[in-house]
Structure 1
Amino acid sequence: MPPTEEKPHVEEAAGLIAPAATMIAAMMTAANLGARVTGSGFVVFTLGSLAWSVVGFTSGQTNLLATNLFLTLVNLVGIWRWLGRQRGYEDGARRAAKRSRIAASPSLFAASALGGRPVSDIRGEVVGQAVDAMIECESGCLSYVVVASGGLGGIDETLRAVPAAMLDCHADGLVLLMSAAEYEKRDTLDGAAWPARPPRGQVATEASLAPAAAAGEGPRGAGKEVAHDAAQG
């Protein structure tokens, strides 16, 4: 008699846990916030698939049970993939970047971490975030970075290509060697039609950066000659 009384309680608890865990895990993995968060999402997915398996077993739904036992195995692979291997890669890159800041060598950051980095103008105003970058095959040099601005969650956002010469790269993000107003004058991109070469521009002199420098807001790398925004025909 006790087992039959406990069974509805187990099924009810599993029925509550299963959908909640699945929804939470879906948000964690879809957020794409790095290996730790994504891997933790697979941990929660595993909890959800186990709970669904209990629901399938206690209710006699063989298909539900079999499906979620298989998904449990898939989720375990996801845990290994993100909390094991990928987290190790990210940790290695993070340590290398940290050591480079105190070493007598150029500062480093992981290329895989470029997407999502904040992008600010010469006055420190955030104008968007980096989406991706294109690299020249022959030289291995950065050609241009695509920056997304505006919109919400990727909806109605505006993409612009910024040549590498117009950017300063720092551990905490990218700095445009132009003002936000100049950046917004750049041609926008069709989401599926990125340029085959970096947009052309003219060279900026120290005079073009003078207003920001006079206000003490010049870019951290303003000592070098950079390509400026005024597009050539």
Structure 2
Amino acid sequence: MIADLAGGVAPAATMIAAMMTAANLGARITGWGFVVFTIGSVGWSIVGLSSGQTNLVGTNAFLTLVNGVGIWRWLGRQRVYEDGGKAAQTASRRSGSPTLFTATGFAGMRVLSREGRHIGKSVEALLECGTGTVSYVVVSSGGVGGVKETLRAVPADAVQFDCEELRLSLSMQDFDLLDSIVDDKWPASPPRHHTPGQSSA
């Protein structure tokens, strides 16, 4: 009875946990993904014990330990870091200081054109050593789930950094005129761009 239940729970838990961790939706979701992974590995261990598959038992006993480390890292330390950054961001909005946002939260921020139209999402920001100033921002547009997406480097002087989104001083046409970049051939310096409205003149 228990073995049959474990045989049903184990594969379902493993698949659900894989989706939760692969989605990269933050420390909490990733941490709970490892909790679900643990349920799956315990289930597989029960299946192995009931069927005499010692290799299955040994493998999932080890995976249970690994999942425990994942729970500690993502629901423990990483969650604390994430919550601390969000607390500072919220507090800065209420104070007279410049509003802050976390660097780790930068990737995935929504990117809007000058007209307020949705362009895509931010992927990465390249900073200059020494000064720490942003040189350019890489923006992903088009495609689904990273498939057939187009990456473009947008110079920092064309980007307004808000807490929830990035707003460009470029129109959709200006953005489309920027050269696309591929894989590991990102530029060593910020690209030149058209001045606002130049492309539509």
Q: Which TM-score band applies after superposition, normalised by the shorter structure?
A: over 0.9
The alignment's C-alpha RMSD in Å is: 1.5
Name the residue aligned to 2:186: 194
In 1: Cα distance, 2:47 partner to 2:116 partner: 54
Match of 2:169 among 177, 199, 216: 177
Name the residue aligned to 1:219: none
Name the residue aligned to 2:96: 104
Match of 2:76 among 84, 88, 101: 84
Match of 1:61 among 39, 46, 53: 53
Name the residue aligned to 2:156: 164
In 2: Cα distance, 1:229 partner to 1:38 partner: 43
Q: What is the deviation of 1:105?
A: 1.6
Conserved in 2, the CA contact under 8 Å of 1:166 and 1:177? Answer: yes
Q: TM-score, normalised by structure 1?
A: 0.83
In 2: Cα distance, 1:196 partner to 1:138 partner: 16
Q: What is the deviation of 1:201?
A: 3.5
Name the residue aligned to 2:36: 44
Match runs of 1:110-189 below 5 Å = 110-189=102-181
Give 1:181's aligned amino acid.
Q
In 1: Cα distance, 2:109 partner to 2:90 partner: 17
Name the residue aligned to 2:65: 73
CA 97–229 in structure 1, closer or farther in 2 if over 3 Å, else same = farther
Query: Any idea what the Cα deviations from partners look like across 1:153-200, whole Å, max 9, x if unmatched?
Result: 000000000011100011111001111121111110012200001112
In 1: Cα distance, 2:148 partner to 2:8 partner: 36
Instruction: State the SS of the aligned residue for 2:88.
Output: helix
Instruction: State the SS of the aligned residue for 1:168.
Output: strand
Conserved in 2, the CA contact under 8 Å of 1:19 and 1:48? Answer: yes
Conserved in 2, the CA contact under 8 Å of 1:160 and 1:189? Answer: yes
Conserved in 2, the CA contact under 8 Å of 1:143 and 1:163? Answer: yes
Query: Any idea what the Cα deviations from partners look like across 1:16-38, whole Å, max 9, x if unmatched?
Result: 00000000000000000000000
Instruction: State the SS of the aligned residue for 1:114.
Output: coil
CA 103–229 in structure 1, closer or farther in 2 if over 3 Å, else same = farther
Q: Determine which structure has more spread, i.e. the larger CA radius of gyration.
A: 1
Q: TM-score, normalised by structure 2?
A: 0.96
Percent identity at matched positions? 55
Provide the aligned length of Structure 1 versus Structure 2.
Answer: 200
Q: Which runs of 5+ in 2 are unaligned?
A: none
Which deviates more, 173-182 or 41-50? Answer: 173-182
Show structure 1 runs of 4+ deviating over 4 A.
Answer: none
Instruction: State the SS of the aligned residue for 1:74.
Output: helix
In 2: Cα distance, 1:24 partner to 1:201 partner: 44
Name the residue aligned to 1:223: none
Conserved in 2, the CA contact under 8 Å of 1:178 and 1:229? Answer: no
